[in-house]
Amino acid sequence: MFPTSLIENPTNYRFEGQDGDEDILLLVRAHPITNLGWILWAVVVFFLPFLAPAVVSLFGFDLAVIPEKYLLAFSVIDYLLVLVIVFEGFLGWYFNVSILTNKRVLDIDFHSTLAKDVDIALLQDVQEAKTSMGGVWGLIFNYGDVAVQTAAAKVEVDAKSVPQPNLVADRIMDAAERVGI
């Protein structure tokens, strides 16, 4: 597993709005295996210029009639698309984080380079943390979702596809109990 998908007591990590006396206890990202979808798309699109002539010839079309500048433009657009797929996929994985501090639980959802949502639940309001693991991939690679329920009976914070969801939920409840004492 990547060392950055679940980090306990990370050093040299800060987040926007962090208090001076607030320590990060746990930083969690989605399990690395969840990146497989966009990685496979990037590989398929990368090899598209190499596979296109064979596929097009099956339909009886000759690429020799297309000017070379058009084929070059297709290749450039194709590789720019690969770059966009990889860039957006990595940013989405890297910046969608859940953070447990000694005061609160934060869920930062990065939608694009221009939009993000931050859900915050104070530890004193946390009543329970639920986990759910589903599917073959989740069971094999030990990842799932963690939902934090607050005193308002509304799930405010949810961590999707995180590694070791039972450990994450346990750490959240332990921190909430320490604050409640």
User: Domain 6-30+96-180 maps to which CATH number in 3.40.50.620, 3.20.20.140, 2.30.29.30, 3.40.50.10890?
Assistant: 2.30.29.30
The answer to whether 169 and 130 are in contact (CB under 8 A) is yes
What tens-digit pLDDT sequence spans the chain (181 residues)?
455 799 999 988 999 999 999 999 999 999 999 999 999 999 999 999 999 888 888 888 887 888 999 989 999 999 999 999 999 999 999 999 999 999 999 999 998 878 999 999 999 999 999 999 989 999 999 999 999 998 876 767 999 999 999 999 999 999 999 987 5
State the SS3 of the chain: CCCCCEEECCCCCCCCCCCCCCCEEEEEECCHHHHHHHHHHHHHHHHHHHHHHHHHHHCCCCHHHCCHHHHHHHHHHHHHHHHHHHHHHHHHHHHCEEEEECCEEEEEEEEECCEEEEEEEEHHHEEEEEEECCHHHHHHHCEEEEEEEECCCCEEEEEEEEECHHHHHHHHHHHHHHHHC
pLDDT at 78: 96
Max Cα-Cα span within the chain: 77
pLDDT computed for residue 98 by the predictor: 96
Residue 168, token pair as written in the block? 């994450």
Length of the chain: 181
Distance CA 84, CA 130 (A): 35
Q: How far is CA 126 from CA 49, 118, 123, 144, 172, in A?
A: 52, 17, 5, 20, 9
For the chain, domain boundaries: 6-30+96-180, 37-90
Q: Which distant-in-sequence residues (6+ apart) come within 8 Å of 161 by Cβ?
A: 30, 31, 34, 138, 143, 144, 145
pLDDT for 94: 92
pLDDT of residue 1: 44
What per-residue confidence (pLDDT) applies to 161?
Answer: 95
Structure confidence at residue 43 (pLDDT): 97
What is the per-residue pLDDT for 181?
55
